[in-house]
Amino acid sequence: MAIHPQAGQLASHDILVNLPELMSAYYLKKPRVTTHPDERVSFGTSGHRGSALLSSFNEDHILAIAQAIAEYRLSQNVSGPLYLGKDTHALSEAAFQTTVSVLIANGVRVRTQLNGGYTPTPVISHAVLTHNKAEADVSDGIVITPSHNPPEDGGIKYNSSKGGPADKDITDWVAKRANALLEANLEGVKRLSPDEVDASGLIEPFDFINHYVNDLENVIDMKAIADKKIRIGVDPMGGSGIHYWEPIAKKYGLDITVVNEEVDPTFRFVPRDKDGRIRMDCSSPYSMQGLLKLKDDFDIAVGNDPDYDRHGIVCAGFGLMNPNAYLAVAIEYLSQHRKQWPQDIQFGKTLVSSGMIDRVVAGLGRKLCEVPVGFKWYVEGLYEGTMAFGGEESAGASFLRKDASVWSTDKDGFIMALLAAEILAVTGKDPQSHYDAQVAKYGNPYYKRIDVAATSAQKALLGALDTKDVTQTELAGEAITSVLTNAPGNGAAIGGLKVSTENGWFAARPSGTENVYKIYLESFISEAHLAELESEAKALVDSVLGS
């Protein structure tokens, strides 16, 4: 994909989302679920997402999904409060109110942010887990967010009683029930008016901010950061964590400067991404241009996406770290500085994350657990304390508390951001310097991800591949050492394939939201070898799909 000529620049007014049109579409457009598959409820790796303008995220969707979740939790005897959060996308507020009206009508107690504020994804996970550890009843959560997606998008995801994204069995049940409700013109959906909701007594205001902030010292060495007076710059990117940084700084005595305090659902202050669209992706050097211009004003600067499940780490004198690089550094640091973590505990990565992580974990003599794409695959391990760390190449991760008990089972952009400051405070070197040392020791990886156009039929074929479908024995001049259609860490289907050699690999998997398949590539030899990998990977996938 060619880089848009205005990537990294602020958008002109004419391309900003038309908010009145968007909000009208949320209420007026009706999904045609029997004739248009793209307008049905579909839970991907992070819930149901879409745009009201495209009839893929409208009030009817949320009415049906909320009713399905209410019925599911009843069937599982989940009788505690449901912790409900929302981010700063325009559609999130509308979907939040719709969700409340249905949950309350079903007799669900709902805990929402005191004074009606925003609540990040990891904060909901943390609240569910701390509740279920201390209380007799069982709670769960919902977050209204499309994560880093463009301003016109909306999203909703269900977090189970284990705090993290619900597993596929749960989301399949919810999606099936929601689509049945849509097909029945919402017959069976319970709903209350705003006045009835207010009079119900089932809304329970909750101080998410202090509940989360006061617990941070149990997962991050806040004292070390304060003692070394690490200067931290924060760009909330207009997201749901914007009101958390001041309480964090005040409680722990940290030197934190919030460089942008704007919240605007057009996200007009976020520079355009590589394709020219506004996308609040804190792992993109284009979207992060505002913070990158200030990189030398701070020791560590951090950005987060709207629901705060992603992190972008900026080191003075260098710039934005590659997400894979930071995961490798975080794993190495945590394995050496969390003395209460068991030696046999696992460190998790997705199949499409860098092979540098494999080499670092092996060099530490630790155990690696490689899983398919999707943070839901880490929930059980983090919850049970058998997995110390789970990370994704898309700049999302979480890890255990200092005492090896669970902190969150969803991606946590706060603790990954604060960990970068801890690494600098404790070691005297920033994360990029640590990564440079890893490269010197383990080799320099060249990593790339591309999108290739594909029909729905081709995507279905790719998702159903078997290892025997790959018959060649060499890839980019090296012998193929493994062909995977299931993850070695848990045996789950990856929905595609991964082919590896001694010094390179590629993985191909269909997109859940676009008519493309994604190819991830990495070479530990050279850029030229990476290009060779790309060419042969495309040819291999094409031959398999063609046959």
Characterize the bridge pairing of strands 478-479 and 474-475: antiparallel
- Element at 140 (helix H, strand E): strand 140-144
Q: How many CB atoms lie within 10 A of CB 268?
A: 17
pLDDT of residue 310: 97
Task: Read off the pTM.
Answer: 0.96
Q: Could you tell me the two tokens for 459?
A: 């995507």
pLDDT at 542: 85
What is the pLDDT, as a whole number, of residue 547?
A: 59
Can you spell out the DSSP letters for 182-217? Answer: HHTTTTT-----HHHHHHHS-EEEE-HHHHHHTTGG
Question: What is the predicted pLDDT for the residue at 513?
Answer: 61
- What secondary structure letter does DSSP report for 216? G
Q: What pLDDT does 541 receive?
A: 86
User: Does residue 132 contact residue 139 with C-beta atoms inside 8 Å?
Assistant: yes
Catalytic site residue 147?
yes
Residues with Cβ < 8 Å from 23, sequence gap 6 or more? 52, 90, 91, 94
Ramachandran assignment for 495, one of left (phi > 0), alpha (psi -120 to 50 degrees), beta (any other): left
* Spatial separation of the C-alpha atoms in residues 382 and 388, rounded to whole Å: 6
Structure tokens at 442: 């383990």
| Sequential DSSP letters for 29-54 | ----TTT-GGGS--EETTEEEEEGGG
User: Angle at CA 374, nearest 5°, toward 459 and 264?
Assistant: 100
Catalytic residue among 147, 284, 287, 408: 147
Q: What is the pLDDT of residue 401?
A: 98
Bridge partner residues of 205 (DSSP) = 112
The CA-based angle 490-304-494, given to 5 degrees, is 20
What residues of the chain score a pLDDT lower than 70? 1, 512-514, 547
pLDDT of residue 365: 97
